[in-house]
């Protein structure tokens, strides 16, 4: 078989690279004694080469080990069945694959193929291996609970009117927060109070329905809310997958499907970091993604470039604190460069602000005094402060129609911390280095996703659950890097 395989074939590169890395993290999962086992290094080679050649099914790998000369050479004629391959992928690799990936990147770093000082970051949503029609929505659960609380409150008020004496010692019920136990106790009290009273047929039917269904339904809702956590939805066939808007065709007719948000960082189209997330918003993924980077290399990158999906005050604060050069756009960055935007004197961003006097000046040159602050929190819990400035004399102003159309004097809100970050980001992005990063980012990181999704045809995960999906993402990243090195 050695003579039948070309000298520069990718299978030789996979064999060479996996032989050079330390597999001790994998060996820790094997206990001594018992029956003979296949060596984890060999199984890792088979899996990586399978993903490199677009073979993702363990059954197809089992067949290839009996029919494909490259798989037979790589496994030294060992023939593990699909159960062995699947168990190794989902159970043995869960705590060790990220270390293996890091070692592969370090080998590429030694050869000068990648740099981990400057990275380009982006994300894509890959469909989960889940039924897209077995969904659970957080808003639907909230609406159902509110409906039950409203009907329970109506029953309680009806009971108070009909049997006020029996409920004189009862504390007025508060149904803003309800659970199965509270509903059961309340219905029992209502039954006891209405015993022997002339209750209408409609109320009896509603009470019977409530007694049979509401406690069990609320218990079911509690279990679903525990699975949801901070998410808005999940699939019953893969509870860790969240429904996300997918771009399915060239007309961008998006559909909600169970998916995971796959984030990668690249250098010269090699993947140097990856992470999986259950939320669709890229803004919330940057900090945990960079934490994975730190865990791999015990340091953070010197510079990062990403699109406007990551531009937020929270992320800018984090990058500033960690002293990472920031080349991340924000919303309206490109619009701000247009002549129309710059020459619009009525936009709040274009109003002159005197930092020493803490005063904003309107288009007529009149000072707008600070009248207070507005506090808000993002979905991640990050606190923001908006300073509010109000004009004094808007009535009768010749620019009133173009400047401000609401009643009263105009109020402007400015987030000074975010304005400071945006000014710094503008300077970075419009510098010579920033222009270089902006031109390089699309063909560096987006082309990597293109190679995986289009060239390799990987558009849907094979495994279920966040932990197993991370394993697949790691195998894809290793396979992509070795395929690019071979090319």
pLDDT at 1: 86
Which residues touch 319 (CB under 8 Å, ≥6 apart)? 304, 326, 328
The separation between the first and the last C-alpha atoms of the chain, rounded to the nearest angstrom, is: 23
> DSSP readout, 180-242?
HHHHHHHHHHHHHHHTTS---HHHHHHHHHHHHHHHHHHHHHHHHHHHHTT-SEEETTBTT-E
Identify the structural domains of the chain with CATH numbers, from first to last.
Answer: 2-93 (no CATH), 136-234 (no CATH), 242-328+425-473 (3.30.420), 335-415 (no CATH)
pLDDT in tens, 325-373: 999 999 999 998 889 998 899 998 899 999 999 999 999 889 999 999 9
3-state percent helix, strand, coil for the chain, nearest multiple of 5: 50, 15, 35
| Residue 249 confidence (pLDDT) above 70 | no
HSE-CB for 101 with a 13 A CA cutoff:
30
Q: How far apart are CA 308 and CA 286, in angstroms?
A: 12
Residue 266 contacts residue 135 (beta carbons within 8 Å) = no
pLDDT in tens, 427-485: 999 999 999 999 999 999 999 999 999 999 999 999 999 999 999 999 999 999 999 99
pLDDT at 169: 55
Average pLDDT, the chain: 91
pLDDT in tens, 144-170: 999 999 999 888 888 888 776 666 555
Residue 264 contacts residue 274 (beta carbons within 8 Å) = yes
Distance of CA 433 to the CA centre of its chain: 29
Tell me the average pLDDT across 381-385: 93
pLDDT at 203: 87
pLDDT at 465: 94
Output phi, psi for 413, to 5 deg: -110, 130
pLDDT at 228: 94
pLDDT at 34: 67
Q: How far apart are CA 217 and CA 145, in angstroms?
A: 9
CA angle 291, 426, 299 (to 5 degrees): 20
| Residue 62 confidence (pLDDT) above 70 | yes
Which residues touch 205 (CB under 8 Å, ≥6 apart)? none
pLDDT at 407: 86
pLDDT in tens, 473-483: 999 999 999 99
pLDDT in tens, 174-227: 788 888 998 998 888 888 888 878 888 888 899 999 999 999 999 999 999 999
Residue 127 contacts residue 469 (beta carbons within 8 Å) = no
- Please tell me the pTM assigned to this model: 0.89
Residues 44/111/54/260 CA torsion (nearest 10 deg) = 80
92: its two tokens: 């043995």
Confidence at 395, pLDDT banded by 50, 70, 90: confident
| Residue 252 confidence (pLDDT) above 70 | no
| Residue 272 confidence (pLDDT) above 80 | yes
- What residues does 265 pair with on adjacent strands? 121, 273
Q: Which residues of 398-422 are buried (b: 16+ CB within 10 A; e: fewer)?
A: eeeeebbeeeebbbbebbeebeebb
């Amino acid at each position: 078989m050695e003579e039948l395989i070309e000298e520069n074939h990718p299978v030789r590169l996979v064999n060479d690279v996996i032989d050079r890395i330390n597999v001790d993290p994998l060996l820790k999962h094997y206990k001594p004694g018992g029956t003979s086992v296949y060596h984890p290094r060999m199984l890792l080679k088979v899996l990586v080469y399978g993903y490199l050649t677009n073979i993702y099914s363990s059954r197809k790998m089992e067949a290839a080990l009996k029919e494909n000369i490259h798989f037979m050479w790589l496994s030294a004629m060992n023939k593990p069945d699909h159960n062995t391959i699947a168990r190794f992928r989902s159970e043995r690799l869960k705590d060790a694959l990220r270390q293996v990936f890091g070692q592969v990147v370090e080998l590429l770093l030694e050869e000068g193929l990648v740099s981990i000082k400057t990275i380009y970051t982006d994300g894509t949503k890959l469909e989960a291996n889940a039924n897209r029609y077995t969904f659970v929505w957080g808003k639907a659960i909230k609406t159902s609970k509110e409906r039950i609380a409203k009907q329970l409150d109506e029953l309680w008020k009806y009971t108070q009117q009909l049997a006020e004496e029996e409920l004189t010692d009862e504390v007025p019920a508060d149904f803003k927060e309800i659970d199965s136990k509270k509903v059961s106790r309340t219905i029992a009290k209502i039954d006891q109070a209405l015993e022997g009273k002339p209750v209408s047929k409609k109320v009896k039917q509603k009470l019977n329905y409530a007694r049979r269904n509401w406690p069990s339904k609320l218990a079911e809702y509690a279990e679903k809310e525990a699975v949801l956590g901070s998410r808005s939805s999940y699939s019953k066939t893969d509870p860790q997958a969240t429904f996300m808007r997918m771009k399915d065709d060239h007309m961008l007719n998006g559909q909600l499907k169970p998916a995971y948000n796959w984030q990668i960082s690249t250098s010269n189209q090699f993947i140097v970091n990856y992470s999986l997330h259950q939320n669709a918003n890229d803004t919330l993924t940057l900090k945990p993604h960079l934490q994975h980077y730190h865990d791999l290399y015990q340091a953070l990158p010197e510079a990062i470039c990403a699109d406007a999906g990551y531009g937020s005050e929270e992320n800018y604060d984090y990058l500033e604190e960690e002293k990472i050069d920031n080349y991340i756009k924000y919303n309206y960055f490109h619009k701000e460069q247009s002549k129309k935007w710059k020459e619009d004197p009525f936009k709040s961003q274009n109003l002159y602000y005197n930092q020493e006097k803490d005063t904003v000046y309107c288009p007529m040159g009149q000072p707008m005094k600070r009248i207070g602050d507005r506090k808000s929190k993002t979905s991640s819990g990050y606190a923001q402060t908006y300073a509010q400035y109000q004009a004094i004399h808007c009535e009768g102003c010749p620019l009133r129609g173009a400047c401000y159309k609401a009643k009263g004097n105009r109020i402007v809100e400015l987030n000074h911390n975010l304005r400071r970050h945006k000014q710094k980001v503008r300077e970075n992005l419009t510098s010579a280095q920033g222009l270089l990063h902006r031109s390089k980012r699309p063909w560096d990181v987006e082309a990597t996703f293109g190679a995986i999704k289009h060239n390799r045809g990987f558009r849907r995960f094979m495994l279920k659950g966040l932990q197993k999906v991370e394993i697949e993402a790691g195998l894809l990243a290793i396979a992509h890097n070795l395929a690019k090195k071979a090319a």
